[in-house]
Amino acid sequence: MSKDHIAFVYAGDLWIADIDGQNVRRLTSDEGAESNPAFSPDGKLIAFSAQYDGNTDVFTIPVQGGIPKRLTYHPGSDMVRGFTPDGSAVLFTSSRFVFTNRYSQLFTVPLGGGFTNKLVIPNAFRASYSPDGYRMAYTPLSEAFNQWKNYRGGRVSTIWLFTFSDHSAEKVPQPEGRCNDTDPMWIGDKVFFRSDRNGEFNLFSYDPSSKEIQQLTFHNDFPILKASPGSGKIIYEQAGHLHIYNISDAASQKLSIGVAADLQELRPRFVKGTKYIRSAAVSPTGSRAVFDFRGEIITVPAEKGDPRNLTQTPGIHERFPAWSPDGKFIVYFSDKSGEYELHIKPQDGKGDTRTFKLNGSGFYASPIWSPDNQKISFTDNARNLYWIDVETGKITRIAAESLYSPGVFGTLEGNWSPNSKWLVYTLHSAAYFKKVFLYSLEQDKSFPVTDGMSEVSNPVFDPSGKYLYFFSSTDAGPVKNWFDMSNEDMEMSSAIYLMTLQKDVPSPLAKESDEEEIKEAEGENEKEETDKKKEEKAEDDFSIDFERINERIISLPVSPGNYFSLQIGDEGQIYYLEAPVSARGPYASGTKLHKYDLKERKDEVLMDANRYYLTSDHKKLLYSKGATWEIVSSSEKTKPDEGKIKTDNIEVKIDPKKEWYQIFDEAWRINRDYFYDPGMHGVDWNAMKSKYSPFLEHLSCRNDLNRIIQWMCSELSVGHHRVGGGDYLQSPERIAGGLLGADYSIENGRYRFKKVFGGLNWNPDLRSPLTEPGINVQVGEYLLAVNGKELYESTNLFSMFENTAGKIVEITIGPNPDTTGSRTVNVVPVSREYSLRNRDWVESNIKKVDETTGGRVAYVYVPNTTTLGHTYFKRYFFPQIHKDAIIIDERFNGGGSVADYYIDLLRRPLVSYWNMRYGNDLKTPLASIQGPKVMLIDETAGSGGDLLPWMFRKFELGKLIGKRTWGGLVGTLGFPVLLDGGYVTAPNLAIWTEDGWVVENVGVPPDIEVEQLPSEVIKGHDPQLDKAIEVILEELVKNPPEKLKRPPYPVKTRKK
């Protein structure tokens, strides 16, 4: 807000109006989104962040309108925070130079462009200069409370008042139990801000002289979401309206703003693209395929014809189609009624649709027709297995998992016997190993047929009724423990097994012997009749002999592998997918479809495929590889694209406004049916739907919908509660800016290399362009020209590297600013420097700890508790196991899994030593440090990064040093995709112990609290690491690791 105008973002564009809300004008209309408008002190310019060129950069525009001027070019996101007090530069935040993705820093860029200046404040998210420019009010960290109402963990937003002259800082006081203070606005001699210290977010003021805090507004229905100052007033957003708070009379006025906009995102339009295909099936003969395509059920011909939309229901979500074996019908789930029901529709779309109400837990999947077309099995999100009688509509619950498993619906599904009277499925045991069960529809009873001592999966019947096939693994244990980090680099292999269902059926793999066959004469007609009678008899006489059935299991002669999706064609025709050894699913590149012929005892690879579906007549199959779908013969190898079907031709008309109502409702239902607490944390969930649904009619763009869903979901007051994605009308193409892996200073009007980051140039993620062979750039040299164009201070360095990531760029470098002694080399810039900066920080810490402690203390950094953290720990722990003590640094830890891998290694006690003739004695376990241990923690470490220090304390491994952790110890295990591809989470995993529910929204407090004071960090210090070194050296004095002395060698000769 300025003296005369207000600026705001609506429908993704920047608008301006008079101070009273009249004379509204649009200033921008680009493909990307604008955000964070701020007026210059004289009110003539507006600075804002925008995506004009595919990246989020800083722009300015006159209040009268015109062509926006771009000021920043770095490939990272630059977010406007305001202007310098004199109006000469724009203040913004960026993460361009940080070593952790948890921080951003403050920069200014001149209105004329050129070199960006980094402020000395170590890290900041929101900021406001004091009127004289000598001080700054800022929040150090990004906000956790937007998704999390009533958040009180370690990352609560705090406001610091920083003095530039001496680098001192003070905090705005907070009440006991913490709160969130944000949007600092330094107006006159007071700091105004938003806070939830007394309930909903309201405006407050703080007087730095008297230390008095005063509440200024008292909204109790909806929070104040944004606030910005201007001309002695504050404009803020609350309950979908803009308000102006007049500081002089302490009163708020609600504005009425009429925006006349075409709102293109609301217009119905056609969309296409294979990214919208979410599930698939194939017709009985392979004439057509059927897809769940962006919530519609679409059939596509194998060759001739056009895609056919069977449902044509914008704003209704249809999922998981399956074609009946007789080809007449397609079954799917639809939420047309407001809840998901089972629909059966004629395959050509003509005729009535039969609907069946379902009594499960809200969301359903895996509909599978019985061979007689009379029954359908299906599952729900609570991991229940059902079957429904298509004629009567009667639903029978067959089984339920006792332990919830990851994934949207888990792995439970039922496959039918040839006579449609039995179902086979797997169920987890108490040890979390799956067992095979056979269910009799006539008896309504299940029978276990495997013992649970191996992991089994994908059981299917042979069409002859004689065999049951399944995968089984005896080395799956570590991998099955999915929540444990210790399984990170574990692999499992499966073999294919066959069980004979009748005790008199011989093994199809019995040793063979060639014999002369004597054939009886038989007429052709008689032969056909005989074969027909055999088939009928096989179906009518289908039976299962359970006595000693688990002794009738044999292994097929196929080498164990990483197998998925076992399916059966004709008798003895076995199909399966083989993924690369390290893959955790069939969607990895290099996955292959195999066919094993039981009679010929021959296995062959048919094609590369990620998923496939056999036709009911077993003659063809539908498969996908990446985004390509094909229908081909099931009996022979085919060439790529030989059976490609025209999925690119699928096109549906959408109505965004109808969709957004459905998406809002489905996000609400996902939380109702997936959230771990059925009591919804005491929240009246129906009331929350009623509270926020009135905003739906005012949506201007898809991003507005995400905001409303976020507001609603935040009422549950829980971490990991996220919403995002969706289908946007326009998505600007990202331009990959190039970076050289260096820091720069301005000297003699030129850019000078201040630091060149080392890398591991054989590793693509750690390639440092300036250190590659032959480049030889030295600190102190100048970057004089790029692609022949000279570079001076007045030019923004990064503007010279637009669209250069991964491309050859010619740079001129030299020891002198006047280009004497310069040379020209070719470099290939990288798209991001984070990995280089992080590695530099880690290895600098290792060096510091090693030098300060005389080589006695190891330092190991763990960025998360999943793949990267596992890699870092292996990389840095094992080379330092000879040291006496260890500092584990888990600051900025992004979480992941249960960090048992770290804890188990850190807890290892000494077992023994082993003496050998030559060299030193060998310690067992070698990979262990028995001496003192400390762990560094901070406000941004969360989730698995909360659990790690909690476990460290629980097992009394040592002291925790730093700041209270984030406090987000719930988990997300998979949720249905929203209609337009967006997502919402509903945390369905939460921790408790004998002490009750722990850590969530509290965090893990340190034993020794150490603040990263700006004055110390600016000096180059790390107060928390310094304290860790101090403490561990003290511990080494008080509790030095015991040094055992080898006993004298034994004398074992017989004494005389």
CATH number, domain with residue 773: 2.30.42.10
Q: What is the pLDDT of residue 995?
A: 95
Tell me, what CATH number does 692's domain have? Answer: 3.30.750.44
Q: What is the pLDDT of residue 531?
A: 52
Residue 394 predicted with pLDDT over 70: yes
Mean pLDDT of the chain: 95
Is 783 found in the same domain as 675? no
- Model confidence band, residue 524 (pLDDT cutoffs 50, 70, 90): low
Share of the chain above pLDDT 90, in %: 93
Residue 484 DSSP one-character state = B
Is 839 found in the same domain as 825? no
Does residue 728 lie within any of the structural domains?
no
Whole-angstrom distance, CA of residue 713 vs CA of residue 666: 12
Read off the tokens for 13.
């564009």
Q: Which of 657, 634, 632, 473 is nearest to 561 (CA)?
A: 473
Q: What is the pLDDT of residue 540?
A: 58
Residue 562 vs residues 479, 491, 557: alpha-carbon distances, Å? 12, 9, 15
Is 824 found in the same domain as 958? no
Does residue 981 lie within any of the structural domains?
no
- Model confidence band, residue 294 (pLDDT cutoffs 50, 70, 90): very high
Is 128 found in the same domain as 18? no
Whole-angstrom distance, CA of residue 301 vs CA of residue 283: 10
Tell me, what CATH number does 921's domain have? Answer: 3.90.226.10
- Model confidence band, residue 799 (pLDDT cutoffs 50, 70, 90): very high
Q: What is the DSSP string of 142-207?
A: --SGGGSTT--STT----EEEETTT--EEEPP--TT---EEEEEEETTEEEEEE-TTSS-EEEEE-
Does residue 227 lie within any of the structural domains?
yes
Q: What is the pLDDT of residue 532?
A: 53
Q: What is the pLDDT of residues 175-225, one digit of tens each?
A: 999 999 999 999 999 999 999 999 999 999 999 999 999 999 999 999 999
* Overall pTM > 0.85: yes
In what helix (H) or strand (E) does residue 967 lie, and over which residues does it extend?
A: none
Is 658 found in the same domain as 749? no
Does residue 152 lie within any of the structural domains?
yes
Read off the tokens for 93.
């935040």
Does residue 694 lie within any of the structural domains?
yes
Q: What is the pLDDT of residue 525?
A: 59
Q: Which of 494-498, 509-513, 774-778 has the highest mean pLDDT?
A: 494-498
Residue type at position 582: S
687 by Cβ neighbours in 10 Å (0-12 / 13-18 / 19+) ranks as exposed
The partner residues of 930 in beta bridges, in order of sequence, read: none
Q: What is the pLDDT of residue 527?
A: 53
> How many domains does the chain divide into?
5
Strands (E), 767-884: 782-786, 789-790, 809-814, 823-827, 857-861
Is 800 found in the same domain as 707? no
Is 1015 found in the same domain as 890? yes
Is 158 found in the same domain as 48? no
Is 233 found in the same domain as 201? yes
Does residue 381 lie within any of the structural domains?
no
Q: What is the pLDDT of residues 943-980, one digit of tens each?
A: 999 999 999 999 999 999 999 999 999 999 999 999 99
Between strands 885-889 and 857-861, the pairing is parallel
* Domain region containing 222: 120-261
In what helix (H) or strand (E) does residue 534 lie, and over which residues does it extend?
A: helix 524-540
More confident residue, 731 or 1056: 731
Q: What is the pLDDT of residues 373-387, one digit of tens each?
A: 999 999 999 999 999
Residue 526 predicted with pLDDT over 70: no
Q: Which of 200, 226, 261 is the last residue of a domain?
A: 261
Phi, psi for 478 (deg, rounded to 5): -60, -40
Is 150 found in the same domain as 73? no
Give first-to-last CA distance, the chain, whole Å: 104
Q: What is the pLDDT of residue 513?
A: 84
Interval 163-178 mean pLDDT: 97
More confident residue, 29 or 522: 29
Q: What is the pLDDT of residues 251-275, one digit of tens each?
A: 999 999 999 999 999 999 999 999 9
CB 89 within 8 A of CB 111: yes
Q: What is the pLDDT of residues 980-1019, one digit of tens each?
A: 999 999 999 999 999 999 999 999 999 999 999 999 999 9
Between strands 933-937 and 959-962, the pairing is parallel
CB 994 within 8 A of CB 743: no
Tell me, what CATH number does 75's domain have? Answer: 2.120.10.30
For the ranges 638-647, 980-989, 1017-1026, the lowest mean pLDDT is seen at: 638-647
Is 920 found in the same domain as 893? yes
Read off the tokens for 3.
């003296």
CB 235 within 8 A of CB 243: yes
Interval 768-780 mean pLDDT: 95
Residue 128 predicted with pLDDT over 90: yes
Q: What is the pLDDT of residues 2-35, one digit of tens each?
A: 999 999 999 999 999 999 999 999 999 988 899 9
Does residue 1021 lie within any of the structural domains?
yes
Is 841 found in the same domain as 802? no
Whole-angstrom distance, CA of residue 1009 vs CA of residue 962: 5
Does residue 183 lie within any of the structural domains?
yes
